[in-house]
């Protein structure tokens, strides 16, 4: 299991040396890339420094019925188990930002690992402690059925409903008939 996390960290670190080289080019595109990279690293760094510790518990993997036959759906793992840890915070705009690492069973029951960053613009529901939001998560994932377990990058839409320290979050994996079209749901508790 440690070698999987090592692969995730190695894959993430491969992107770091390439980006400063892009910043030295005198093109408008490289200036934009450099600025985007600096903004992203600032957000991640601030979240790491100022964020609260968060516990992630994968709850359910729903294979949408229109994309799978009943036999396919009955053969898949729906209760992913596992857990994750992260650091998250609400920024000055009231939007949630978080860094996380999660391990769980994929649809075939094999170990799967994620290391990522999420950003969710949130809105308060009336005058309550309830917040809802929709945003994006960018991550590296390791699955045995993709690239032999070598980590690969992905970006998915993510939604959240929170009451005080407890959140229910979900990411949608798009796809076609018999692949993708999965809703991955987890709970998150923020310690503060």
Domains of the chain: 2-191 (2.40.160.20)
Please tell me which residue in 52, 107, 110, 162 is annotated as part of the active site.
107
Reported as a single tens digit per residue, the pLDDT across 1-55 is 445 544 544 444 444 444 444 444 455 667 888 998 898 899 999 999 999 999 9
Please tell me which residue in 30, 106, 108, 110 is annotated as part of the active site.
106
Question: How many Cα atoms sit within 13 Å of 98 on the Cβ side?
Answer: 28
In the residue annotation, 106 being an active-site residue is answered as: yes
Mean pLDDT of the chain: 88
- Cβ neighbours of residue 173 under 8 Å, at least 6 residues apart? 156, 180, 181, 182, 183, 184
Q: What is the CA radius of gyration of the chain?
A: 18
pTM listed for this prediction? 0.82
In the residue annotation, 107 being an active-site residue is answered as: yes
- Cα 124 to chain center, whole Å? 22
Please tell me which residue in 3, 30, 43, 63 is annotated as part of the active site.
63
């Amino acid at each position: 299991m440690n070698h999987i996390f090592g692969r995730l960290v190695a894959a993430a670190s491969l992107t770091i040396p390439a980006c400063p080289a892009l910043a030295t080019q005198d093109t408008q595109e490289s200036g934009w890339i450099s600025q985007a990279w600096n903004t992203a690293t600032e957000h991640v760094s601030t979240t790491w420094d100022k964020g609260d510790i968060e516990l992630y518990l994968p709850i359910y993997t729903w294979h949408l019925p229109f994309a799978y036959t009943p036999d396919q759906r009955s053969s898949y793992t729906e209760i992913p188990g596992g857990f994750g840890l992260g650091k998250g915070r609400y920024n000055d705009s009231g939007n949630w930002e978080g860094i996380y690492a999660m391990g769980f069973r994929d649809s075939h029951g094999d170990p799967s690992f994620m290391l990522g960053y999420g950003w969710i613009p949130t809105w308060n529901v009336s005058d309550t402690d309830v917040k809802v939001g929709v945003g994006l998560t960018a991550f590296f994932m390791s699955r045995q059925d993709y690239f032999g377990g070598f980590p690969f990058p992905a970006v998915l839409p993510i939604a959240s409903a929170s009451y005080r320290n407890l959140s229910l979050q979900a990411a949608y994996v798009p796809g076609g008939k018999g692949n993708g079209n999965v809703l991955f749901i987890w709970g998150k508790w923020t310690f503060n």
